[in-house]
Chains A and B, each alone.
Chain A
Amino acid sequence: MTKRLHPLAPCSRRGGVLVATLVAVLAVGGLSVCLLELDSTRLRRQVASIDNKRAFNLAEAGLAEGRFAVETGHTGTIGSAAAPARFGDGLFWVTATEIAPNVIGLESTGMAGTGRATLSLVVRRTSRDVAALGVFGSQQVLLGRRARVDAYDSLGARGAPKLPERFDPTSGTAVELRSNGDIELSDDARVFGDAIPGPDGSVELRDDALVTGSTSPAPLEAELAVIEPLELPAGGDLVHASGARRVIAGDGKAYGEIRVGKNSTLVLRGPLQLSTARLRVLDKGKLEIDCASGPVELHVTDWLDLHDGSKLAFPDEDTRGLRLLVSATGSRDRDGDGAVDPPVRFLADGTFFGSLYAPAARLALPRGFQLYGAAAAGILQLDDDAQIHFDVALHGADPSASITIEPLAWKVVEIPREIARDLGEDPFAALDVPKDELKPPAQAYEAAEYELDVKYVDETGVERKFKGRERDFDWRLAKEVRKLRRREEKDD
């Protein structure tokens, strides 16, 4: 029989140490749990704060991407809640809404971790393309008696040139006659389309004057682009008064004055870029634009003076053949005869084909004059019986015109309810979307079923063209869009 070295404690003391130890362990454990809980709460708050910042940054990235999408001719919509764009560890999608013509609202929602953020940006799309303004008078538009403004498509259904002599203005393309101020129509004047005054302007119709479309004011004033001066070698003065025919072609020059005298003809043969301080065509002088081989761009910086009896000739009758840009401004005595001369005196006979842009001057088309193409001026006036036939084919035809985006309003908005319900740590699970199958932002632009005709500049600065289905065009190639035409795809 063995003897216990440490005999058992009395029954009343058995397990006392165990109980005491257990109590101590439980107390320490409880304290630890409390501390851990406190610490993890603090950590969660910090992580939530970081996630919210990340979500905010993702939403900002979405707005930037949406803005770029609008700039490159897309709608601005990128992905959707059902198929968002993947970006880093998070995702975003952008919804674009056309609030007013060329005013687009972008709403971007970003999700990262438990963070959610939704931002809104309203942008205005402006184009340096003269035709984008329609027929435009910045301060005022005045239509004389029986004056007429309408629109047509010179490319026609098959792209063949078509003059509007026989088109029916009541069933044809509608024009947009715009102003930042008032529009006044004298007796029997006609606008076949919309007459859109400025936000505070109005349309005044005298006896039997007619506007077939809307006369509602524009929500915002349109902005006139500044004329970028051409950098050309100086060419002195060009005075042509020999009575013969003279052709200018090839490399352009910057002239001090181009003057065409009596019974003389000056031909500007495209492709050609010219700049002159003064362009004067005197009585019985003739200025001919030959654009069979390419367009002519003519900048006039001080004085456009087309005398009564002067003639403009356009043998090709192509509205894309001439861009006449007049940056002249202010009235003063320009020829030293003691009389004040306006920056633009337009008294020529004939018919004008092309775009005429004089943002700081009054452009008054003389009685019976016809202009095919586009016209924008500080004040646009059509004397009695004058006509403007706006060519919708000019939209996007200006190779130097690019689209610019102006931000109007940015704000934080409430996150959509459907995503506010689930604030789980995995945004992909919250939206129930497969992370690996989501597209990056550049490939998540709204799928468009359009025929695209785009002229763009790639990242190396080279101008390129693409014509075909939009889905076949990689928009990442376009760093700047210079021309854009979209037509809905036909099923046949």
Chain B
Amino acid sequence: MAAHARRRGGFTLLETLIALTVVGLVLGNIVMVTRSTSDAYDEEMSKASLELQLDQTLDRIALALMAASASSLQPLVATPAFHSTLSYSQSLGVQDGVVVHGAPERISLRIENGEVVWIERPDEPGERMATWTRSVRDFLEGELPNGIDDNHNGLVDESGLSFVIDAGLVRVLLTLEREGAGDRRLTYTRESLVRCRNS
């Protein structure tokens, strides 16, 4: 009995080595799968978040410009010139039969910070400012500062936020760029054509 109990009290070295190897392999695989899944998830999340951020910013800009009066757009330089800053006034409605316009507003790209900012009453005492998004690229996707239309969109060296005005229509182009998983750069670009609803 004592001999039998002793025989069952441990593993042989071979058994232990095999077991450790198998466990190591399994754990290694699990770690690899987990890591790659996690990386993929992080990347997808980053992409989705950047896309969502891009869509929401563009929607916000579009909504602001829809309510703007076309005659208030400044600078009012016709296509193919582009601007990274656009000033406008929104229509607030009709009071006593007269169309009432709101305070001047401005949507602007701050290249140094890569931010799109919205400013109410710019350069006036009651100035109010909000950052609508960050991670804006210096130049639009595919564009290089070389005096050539690299991305073939009709604009030369256009900035990461560009407004193109054409008879009450405003074309808005926006590129966001951010570092994704594994030092990869995620870049997304959207374009929207907005008609000012007020003349």
Contact = CB atoms under 8 A, between A and B. Distances in A.
Interface of A: 7, 35, 38, 42, 45-46, 49, 53, 99-100, 103, 105, 120-122, 199, 218-220, 407-412
B147 interface: no
Contacts of A411: 67, 90-93
16 contacts: A35-B41, A38-B45, A42-B52, A45-B52, A46-B48, A49-B55, A49-B56, A53-B59, A120-B93, A122-B93, A122-B99, A199-B98, A219-B97, A219-B98, A410-B66, A412-B66
Contact of B93 (A199, A407, A409): A409
A408 B99 contact: yes
B190 interface: no
B52 A409 contact: no
Contact of B45 (A42, A99, A408): A42
Interface of B: 8, 41, 45, 48-49, 52, 55-56, 59, 63, 66-67, 90-94, 96-100, 197-199
A122 B66 contact: no
Contacts of A38: 45
Contact of B94 (A45, A49, A122, A412): A122
A4 to B, nearest CB: 11
Secondary structure type dominating chain B contacts: mixed
Contact of B99 (A53, A120, A409): A409
Contacts of A121: 197
A461 B46 CA distance: 56
A59 to B, nearest CB: 12
Contacts of A53: 59
Most buried by A among B63, B67, B197: B197
Given A35-B41, A103-B94, A219-B97, A407 B52 contact: no
4 smallest beta-carbon distances between A and B, as pairs: A219-B97, A410-B197, A409-B91, A122-B94
B49 A409 contact: no
A52 to B, nearest CB: 8
Given A45-B52, A49-B59, A219-B97, 18 more contacts: A38-B45, A42-B45, A46-B52, A100-B94, A103-B94, A105-B94, A122-B99, A199-B98, A407-B199, A409-B91, A409-B94, A409-B100, A409-B198, A410-B67, A410-B198, A411-B90, A411-B92, A412-B67
A7 B8 contact: yes
Nearest to B92: A411
A35 B42 CA distance: 10
Contacts of B45: 38, 42
Given A42-B52, A53-B59, A99 B94 contact: yes
Q: Which of A99, A220, A409, A411 has the most CB of B within 10 A?
A: A409
Nearest to B66: A410
A412 B96 contact: no
A42 B56 CA distance: 13
Contacts of A220: 97-98
Contact of B97 (A45, A46, A218, A407): A218
Contacts of A218: 97
A148 B100 CA distance: 37
Contacts of A45: 52
